[in-house]
Amino acid sequence: MRPSKRAPDAMRPVSLQRNVARYAEGSCLVKFGETHVLCTASLEDKPPMWLRGQGKGWITAEYAMLPRATHTRTRRETAKPSGRTQEIQRLIGRSLRAVTNLLALGERQITIDCDVLQADGGTRTASITGAWVALHDCLKWMRGRSMIKDMPLTDHVAAVSCGIYQGLPVLDLDYDEDSSAHTDGNFVITGSGGLVEVQATAEGAVFSEEELTKLLGLARGGIKQLVELQKQAIEP
């Protein structure tokens, strides 16, 4: 039995609330159970220095965890982001760029900030799922001001964790499961089913190809639910 009493293929309650940051071009408060992340999209009317003159834009991300997002206070990363933080930032950026036509952006940059307000496992997967909504609304804001002609998004993208907990493949791990899972994985998948990134790690014992296939199957079911929630969230 899972600590949350959920079935192996059951997600935590998920919500996507738009327009929660007054000044951002796009924003979304995403909740995966007790994991809450504020995602904001900020437009800069110029690309990064290394991309100037190439006629296309860029999407990047920053990720941070508030000091009391966890059970004990975590120091702010004021000097340099930790290796974990840098990894997650790059993952969020890659995931969003995978479903965006950067040429259609023009020479502009959109920065997605993902700030974890409360953490109970799956902060990176919640960040990616909410970041897509924030990015969508930023692009919609741009199109409404004739800055772009068409929406540059080519697909949805969302992410979910899976793992092997007490010998059982399960979907969407909370902290209790994540901290003691034998295998922990994160799956980033597009709305059409394309794999953007798969991260799977043996925490206690090695896992088999068959088990990885089972985790992927669970992840696809979770992504289908998340994409449907994204579609409902952005409805007029």
Secondary structure of the chain in HEC code, one letter for each residue = CCCCCCCCCCCCCEEEEECCCCCCCEEEEEEECCEEEEEEEEEECCCCHHHCCCCCCEEEEEEEECCCCCCCCCCCCCCCCCHHHHHHHHHHHHHHHCCECHHHHCCCEEEEEEEEEECCCCHHHHHHHHHHHHHHHHHHHHHHCCCCCCCCECCCEEEEEEEEECCEEEECCCHHHHCCCCEEEEEEEECCCCEEEEEEEECCCCCCHHHHHHHHHHHHHHHHHHHHHHHHHCCC
With beta carbons less than 8 A apart as the criterion, state whether 133 and 30 touch: yes
Other CB atoms within a 10 A radius of the CB of residue 66 amount to: 16
pTM of model > 0.85: yes
Token pair 């741009």: residue: 142
Among candidates 159, 129, 131, 119, which has minimal Cα distance to 33? Answer: 119
Question: Given pLDDT bands bounded at 50, 70 and 90, which one contains residue 236?
Answer: confident
Quick: pLDDT tens for 204-228.
789 999 999 999 999 999 999 999 9
At residue 79 the predicted structure's pLDDT band, cuts being 50, 70 and 90, is: confident
Predicted local distance difference test score (pLDDT) of residue 44: 96
> 180 or 112, which is more confident?
112
Q: What is the dihedral of CA 75, 3, 16, 216, to 10 degrees?
A: 100
CA trace torsion 136, 137, 142, 144 (10° rounding): 120
- pLDDT above 90 (res 102): yes
Q: What is the pLDDT of residues 11-57, one digit of tens each?
A: 999 999 999 999 999 999 999 999 999 999 999 999 899 999 999 99
Residues in the chain, how many? 236
